[in-house]
Amino acid sequence: MTKKILSLLLVLYSMNAFAQKPEDTEDWSRKPVIVTPGEGTLPPSDAVILYRLPSDAENWMHINGGPIKWKAADELTVVGQTGNIRTKQEFGDVQLHIEWRSPSEIRGEGQGRGNSGVFLMGLYEVQVLDSYDNETYYNGQAGSIYKQQIPLVNACRPPGQWQTYDIIFKAPRFHDDGSLLSPAFITVIHNGVLIQNHVELKGGTRYIGAPEYVKHNEKLPLILQDHGDAVSFRNIWIREL
């Protein structure tokens, strides 16, 4: 490129830049709604409270309908062999905050120690497990997308201590014929540490076999798993996105 052509281009660029105004790139199309943040991990003003007080047990039902059989006190604790529980309300894309605690008394090992699960849309599981000094298959430890995605790191606290998951979930979309339009994506922050970074899900959670997508409703309930261990949950809130 000759110096004359380069000089001409610089002049034209300068003329175009001076012809524009700062307000030409201002966007006034959507005013953000005001949301009051909660203190610490308390819910923001637009959150749906799923469990903070014993009375919030009314937001849940047994997986097959009817009242839950878990222990509802300051926290919600699994009563083994009573079954999974689900929210009465249904959700799609969400931001979820949930705190959990495995039993302080260590029993079992691997998958048999402090096991539960958080199922987005009742289908896509973020594993809950006591993974503090407890080996198991890595796509089944705490914070894994069960049998799909290994967490980036193990951020587990010792058993008996409260832990937090902050989860951003984008639900899958389907064509009218049932084929997949776009997959689900999930981000998980465990105890303030990023462990799943906008990972793609390959389908619904399966214990045996490869995951696959099956068309479902745009909104479905959140499910907490009874895996037989007395895992507790508290301060559960969710924001629809």
Q: pTM for this one?
A: 0.91
- Our CA angle for 158, 160, 161, nearest 5°, is 65
The 3-class secondary structure across 62-110, one letter per residue, is ECCCCCCCCEECCCEECCCCCCCEEEEEEECCEEEEEEEECCCCCCCCH
Question: Which residue, among 184, 166, 162, has the nearest Cα to 174 in the 3D structure?
Answer: 184
CA–CA distance, 102 with 136 (Å, rounded to integer): 16
- Asked: is 26-240 a CATH 3.30.70.2740 domain? The reply is no
Per-residue pLDDT of the chain (241 residues; tens, 9 = 90+): 577 777 766 666 666 656 788 899 999 999 999 999 999 888 999 999 999 999 999 999 999 999 999 999 999 999 999 999 999 999 999 999 999 999 999 999 999 999 999 999 999 999 999 999 999 999 999 999 999 999 999 999 999 999 999 999 999 999 999 999 999 999 999 999 999 999 999 999 999 999 999 999 999 999 999 999 999 999 999 999 9
